[in-house]
Amino acid sequence: MQNTHTVVHGTMTDIKSSTEVGDATIIRFCQKLGLTGFTDLKILAAKDDFSRQYIFEDESDYFSLLLNRHIMCLKKTLLTLDKTKIDDAIKMIKMAGHIYLYGVGSSGTTARDFEGILLRVGVKANAVIDPHVQAHIASILGSDDLIIAFSLSGKTRDIYDAISIAKKSEVQIIVITNFTHTPIAQLADIVLQTAIEEFIDGGSVAGKLSQLYICDVLVHAYESQNNVSSFEIREKVLRSILNKRID
């Protein structure tokens, strides 16, 4: 319980190495605690850590506590950003024949949001959130195409399967995730790091903020480096939807 991060995000191999015991000893330890196995131990540790983060002294405390968490989320994400990687990602976006944005669950909604954000600077991308369609598209892409994949954990099975298929055709891959050594990150050409760990708090606002902040950085960097006249694009968009407003 003093090393919840290691337990929650580590593998059985990691724990074996840290404690210098075998699989059987860990399983027996879990059973001794009344748990069915190692996964239950992860959840127990995550619940304990999560509950300590959301202790409010009075009912109004959550206003400032949540605000501070979101501000801290953005500051931590800023610290993970590498300008060289951002610049390389912009070059990939500019040169790509087709751009697809992959995500499932909460990360799927981020992919859809990013699709709209990219349109602000005239970049056409397709958000794909159905795992079957992701695999289908991945199988027909080529080396001049780009997939930008979202997965906070870096271990989402559907995303891993789809970009594994794309990797065989040398499709360029940018992954936006928390961890650089996860299976999904290992398939990427560029990894851009978010800064929110979501084991038990899946789909949190903080996790989405971290992802969207990176999306916004990419869009503004693209706009700046390619001399995009975003005012003209925004004006065209505005004129196209003005007649849909109620006067």
Residues 84 and 158 in one domain: yes
Assess whether 131 and 171 both reside in one domain: yes
- Asked whether residue 245 is domain-assigned, the answer is no
Do 101 and 150 touch, CB atoms closer than 8 A?
yes
What is the average pLDDT across 98-127? 94
> How many independent structural domains does the chain possess?
2
Count of H helices and E strands in the chain?
Answer: 12, 5
49 with 112, same domain: the answer is no
Q: Is residue 173 part of a domain?
A: yes
Per the structure, the complete domain to which residue 23 belongs is given by: 4-53
Task: Give yes or no: residues 36 and 157 share one domain.
Answer: no
What pLDDT is attached to residue 200? 46
CB distance 185 to 154 below 8 Å:
yes
State how beta strands 146-150 and 99-102 pair: parallel
**Amino acid 57: pLDDT:** 53
Task: Please give the pLDDT value at position 9.
Answer: 61
Residue 60's pLDDT band (boundaries 50, 70, 90)?
low
Instruction: Judge whether residue 138 has pLDDT over 60.
Output: yes
Q: Are 53 and 5 in contact (CB under 8 A)?
A: no
Mean pLDDT, the chain, integer: 85
Residue 186, token pair as written in the block? 């290992």
**Residues 28 and 99 placed together within one structural domain of the fold:** no
Residue 64 lies in a domain: no
Q: Both 32 and 120 in a single domain?
A: no
- Whether 243 is in a domain gets the answer no
**Could you tell me if residue 246 is inside a domain?**
no
Q: How far apart are CA 165 and CA 104, in angstroms?
A: 17
Domain shared by 231 and 127, yes or no = yes
State the angle between helix axes of 205-225 and 83-95 in degrees (0 to 180), rounded to the nearest 10: 70
Same domain, 194 and 73: yes
Span 139-145, average pLDDT:
96
Question: Quick one: 219 and 150 in the same domain?
Answer: yes
Is 212 found in the same domain as 144? yes
Do residue 21 and residue 79 come from a single domain? no
> Does the reported pTM lie above 0.85?
no
Strand order in the sheet with 99-102: 126-128, 99-102, 146-150, 172-177, 190-193
Q: Tell me: the pLDDT tens digits for 66-91?
A: 788 888 889 888 988 999 999 999 99
The CATH number of residue 125's host domain is 3.40.50.10490
Cα separation, 143 vs 113, in Å, equals: 25
Q: Give yes or no: residues 86 and 154 share one domain.
A: yes
192-204: per-residue pLDDT in tens? 999 876 544 455 7
pLDDT for residue 6 is more than 80: no
C-alpha 99/C-alpha 142 separation (Å) is: 11
Establish if 127 belongs to a structural domain. yes
Domain assignment present for residue 61? The answer is: no
In a domain, 247, yes or no: no
Question: For residue 189, what is the enclosing H or E element?
Answer: none
